[in-house]
Structure 1
Amino acid sequence: MTVIESIPEIETPSPCLPFKPDWQHAEDLQIYVKRDDLIHPVVSGNKWRKLKYTLRQLPASTTRIVSFGGGYSNHLHALGFICHQLAMPFTAIVRGDYSASLTPMLHDLMAWNSELVYVDKVEYRQRDTLAYINQLQARYPGAVIIPEGGKQPSALRGVGEIMHELAVIPDYVLVPVGSGATLAGLVGQLYGHQRAIGIAVLKGENYLESEVNQLLDRTQTNWHIQHDFHHGGYAKCSRELAEFCRTFTREHGFAVEPVYSGKLFYAAKMLIERQYFEKGAKVLLLHTGGLQGARESR
Structure 2
Amino acid sequence: MPAETITASPTEQIKLRGHVFYIKRDDRIDPLLSGNKYRKLYSLITMPAGHYRRIVSHGGSQSNAMLSIAALCHRKGWVFDYTSKPLPATLKSAPDGNLHMALSFGMRLHEVAHAQYDDAIRQLAGVTEPDTLFLPQGGADPLARSGITLLAGEIRAWLQQNKLESVNVVTPSGTGTTAYYLATALPEATVITAAMAGSETYLRAQMQMLGSIPENLRILSHERKYHFAQPYSALLEMYHELISAGIEFDLIYGAPMWHTLLLQMEQISGPVLYVHSGGLIGNETMLARYRHKGLL
> Shorter-chain-normalised TM-score: which range?
0.7 to 0.9
**What fraction of aligned residue pairs are identical, expressed as a percent?**
26
Contact 1:11 1:38 in 2 (8 A): no
Structure 1 residue aligned with 2:240: 246
Aligned with residue 251 of structure 2, among 252, 258, 261: 258
TM normalised by structure 2 equals: 0.83
| Correspondence 1:210-225 to 2 at 5 A | 210-216=205-211, 218-225=212-219
Match of residue 283 from structure 1: 272
Q: How many residues align?
A: 277
CA deviations 1:158-178 (Å, max 9, x no partner) are 112222112124431111000
The corresponding residue for 2:8 is: 13
Say if 2:178 is the partner of 1:188. Answer: no
1:208 corresponds to? 203
CA distance in 2, matches of 1:47, 1:244: 23
User: Partner residue of 1:51?
Assistant: 41
Are 2:57 and 1:62 aligned?
no
User: What is the RMSD computed on CA atoms of the aligned residues?
Assistant: 2.6
What SS does structure 1 have at the residue aligned with 2:102? helix
CA distance in 1, matches of 2:28, 2:224: 24
Secondary structure of 1:232's partner? Answer: coil
Cα distance in 2, alignment partners of residues 270 and 70 from structure 1: 29
Return the letter of the residue paired with 1:282: P
Aligned to 1:133: 125
- 1:151 equivalent in structure 2: 140
Question: In 1, Cα distance between the equivalents of 2:7 and 2:103?
Answer: 28
Cα distance, 1:51 vs. partner?
A: 0.8
Partner residue, 2:27: 37
Aligned to 1:124, the other structure's residue is in SS state: helix
CA contact 2:57–2:134 (8 Å) conserved in 1: yes
Shift of 1:47: 0.4
Q: Tell me, yes or no, if the aligned pair for 2:3 and 2:33 is still in contact at 8 Å.
A: no
Specify whether residues 228 and 257 from structure 1 end up closer, same or farther in structure 2 by C-alpha distance, changes over 3 A only: same
Shift of 1:68: 1.4
Task: Please identify, of 231-240 and 67-76, the stretch whose mean Cα deviation from structure 2 is larger.
Answer: 231-240
Shift of residue 141, structure 1, vs aligned partner? 8.2
Do the aligned residues in 2 keep the contact of 1:174 with 1:286 (CA within 8 Å)?
A: yes
- Structure 1 residue 10: Cα displacement: 5.5
Deviation digits for residues 38-79 of structure 1 (CA, Å, limit 9, x no counterpart): 111111011011012145457846321111121221111111
SS across alignment from 1:67 = strand
Point out the structure with the larger helix share. Answer: 2
The letter for the 2-side match of 1:40 is D
Structure 1 gaps of 5+ residues are: none
Task: Look up the match of 1:104.
Answer: 97
Would you say 1:91 and 2:81 are equivalent positions?
Answer: yes
The answer to whether the 8 A contact 2:80-2:107 is kept is: yes
Determine the C-alpha separation between the residues in 1 that align with 2:177 and 2:120: 17
TM-fit CA distance, 1:34: 0.8
Cα gap change, 1:240/1:10 in structure 2, threshold over 3 Å: closer, same or farther?
farther
Distance (whole Å) between structure 2 residues aligned to residue 263 and residue 127 of structure 1: 31
In 2 relative to 1, CA 12–252 (structure 1 residues): closer, same or farther, beyond 3 Å?
farther
3-state DSSP of counterpart to 1:66: strand
SS of residue matched to 2:200: coil
1:171 maps to what in 2? 167
Aligned residue type for 2:69: L
